[in-house]
A and B are shown apart, each in its own frame.
Chain A
């Protein structure tokens, strides 16, 4: 009775009310920021006295925002590519390999996910100061790769576990070399896993702020560092404009991932 929607009695209305409130709680701040980005009030008064595109104009007129966004984009693309490449190799090793210590290795590969990022940030900062990687694009890429890689290994590993290896073996029996079989049979079959890995890795880098605060220099900062620095001074509506663009990007990426999943199911 407690697990049938129609037999819950008045409990159903309580659950429904909590769920609606939760959804509103989760959605409202996002809609609110999007609305304020078009509002004319400097102090973010809501509802805004009138509507304007002024904050978007200010945003696009300031090259430091565009520079930061471009830096973030470059770093995130390189991180996504490397993360999928290294992650695919590692996932094959972990899923196909039968060696001692495999479970331990798997656990080690996933630790960056549970470790508080601030610890990694401080540790890498010390290391970078010593080897001269602080304030460099390479430093950013490597730091972000550490946090992106577990997502790649997880999603590619899951896809690979769901793939029937006998199909690959069949290709080998038909005369393909093992490498050909992997490249032309297995990888296309797990394409949606590779795609999610790429998107997750891209986002892990694109949105990452804690490592970035420690890696950044005055001449090299990512978009989250720029937002962070701005917010430490004031709550300017320009940040609302940036945020709205980021929310739009999130929606696009969510759509892409769900399309990829649908495509994987139908094929």
Chain B
């Protein structure tokens, strides 16, 4: 009798049905996600010969360690810049009259939803030697020669900041909206100046949002492929591009697997850290 099961909780049969329902998704992800990734990681210790030689090469050579340093530096700079721009924006969005904030959210979503290649292409055009930014700066007499803004890490940082900005604004907005304004009124009543209230009350309350948004941007930036590849040029590779190159041009699966494991372990440990600290995966958006 179905009525009875609805009242007394799940029977063994229901439990089996639930698992059965998840089975198609589970098998897809095992066959086309978990096993291939594991196989790739295994190749890093099996090819060309069993052992850790790939890791010794990867972490020992100056070429590869420079790529690792590039990757971490760009990701850190992008994280800091997006937080510096994103925090005041999210703060204003949380307070301003809804008519305005809806407009800004519209722009935010349009930018997030626009094809990634389109956005990257826009920056390739804007930043090129004869692009609008260089020409404007020359016309204004600020510079004589066009600045090298693309095919280097400057270009990558600008493009990545553009792409990552919504990912800090959205969680920060959520956190600020949930803060009770009465707490800050209390601070004012107790005689705190604006700066004191900001530093000692608002900032600590927003900290979880800063940590979640910042960590998410940092981790996403570490593994980003398209934007660094197009804006950075071949001389300024980042880790994701290196993995692709090992496999596509050099057909060196062992090294590709080793670089993938480095990226994967950093990514997963940072996410685990975030889960431990804040109990949220920060997933959301696209």
Contact = CB atoms under 8 A, between A and B. Distances in A.
> Is this pair of chains taken from one and the same complex?
yes
Interface stretch (B50-58, B62-70, B178-186): B178-186
Contact of A122 (B121, B130, B230, B256): B256
A246 B89 contact: no
Contacts of A240: 121, 125
Nearest to A14: B88
A198 B267 CA distance: 28
Interface string A92-106: 111011110000010
A86 interface: yes
Contacts of B286: 151, 200, 203-204
Contacts, number: 291
Given A92-B18, A122-B243, A126-B253, A26 B108 contact: yes
B157 interface: no
A4 B95 contact: yes
Given A5-B96, A227-B121, A250-B114, A209 B29 contact: no
B141 interface: no
A23 B165 CA distance: 11
A97 B104 CA distance: 40
Contact of A23 (B104, B185, B194, B271): B104
Contacts of B268: 114
A3 B95 contact: yes
A109 B25 contact: yes
A153 B96 CA distance: 34
Interface in A215-251: 224, 227-228, 231-232, 235, 239-240, 242-243, 246-247, 250-251
Nearest to B260: A119
Interface in B70-114: 85-86, 88-89, 91-97, 103-104, 107-111, 113-114
B281 interface: yes
B276 interface: no
Given A27-B110, A99-B18, A235-B128, A118 B96 contact: no
Interface in A7-52: 8-9, 11, 14-16, 18-19, 21-23, 25-27, 29-30, 32-33, 36, 43-46
Contacts of A21: 85
B273 interface: no
B117 interface: yes
Contacts of A94: 18, 22
B223 interface: yes
Interface in B24-41: 24-26, 28-29, 32-37, 39-40
B125 A44 contact: yes
B247 A93 contact: no
A209 B117 contact: yes
B40 A123 contact: yes
B198 A2 contact: yes
B3 interface: yes
B160 to A, nearest CB: 13
A47 to B, nearest CB: 9
A222 B125 CA distance: 23
Contact of A90 (B21, B39, B222): B21
Contacts of A26: 107-108, 110-111, 162, 165-166
B49 interface: no
Contacts of A25: 85, 162, 165
Contacts of A33: 118, 121-122, 125
Interface string B180-199: 01001101100000100110
Given A1-B185, A109-B25, A154-B283, A114 B122 contact: no
Contacts of B35: 127
B209 to A, nearest CB: 14
B29 A146 contact: yes
A93 B19 contact: yes
Given A115-B37, A116-B222, A200-B286, 15 more contacts: A2-B201, A26-B108, A30-B114, A32-B125, A90-B25, A97-B21, A98-B14, A109-B25, A118-B263, A119-B40, A123-B40, A178-B2, A213-B244, A243-B117, A246-B114
Interface of A: 1-5, 8-9, 11, 14-16, 18-19, 21-23, 25-27, 29-30, 32-33, 36, 43-46, 86-87, 89-90, 92-94, 96-99, 105, 108-127, 142-143, 145-146, 149, 151, 153-154, 165, 169, 172-173, 178, 200, 203-204, 207, 209-210, 213-214, 224, 227-228, 231-232, 235, 239-240, 242-243, 246-247, 250-251, 253-254
> Which 3 pairs of residues, A with B, have the shortest CB-CB distance?
A116-B223, A97-B18, A93-B21
20 contacts: A1-B187, A1-B197, A2-B198, A18-B92, A23-B103, A25-B85, A29-B162, A46-B131, A87-B25, A93-B21, A114-B271, A115-B267, A119-B40, A120-B37, A123-B260, A125-B247, A149-B28, A154-B283, A213-B244, A243-B122
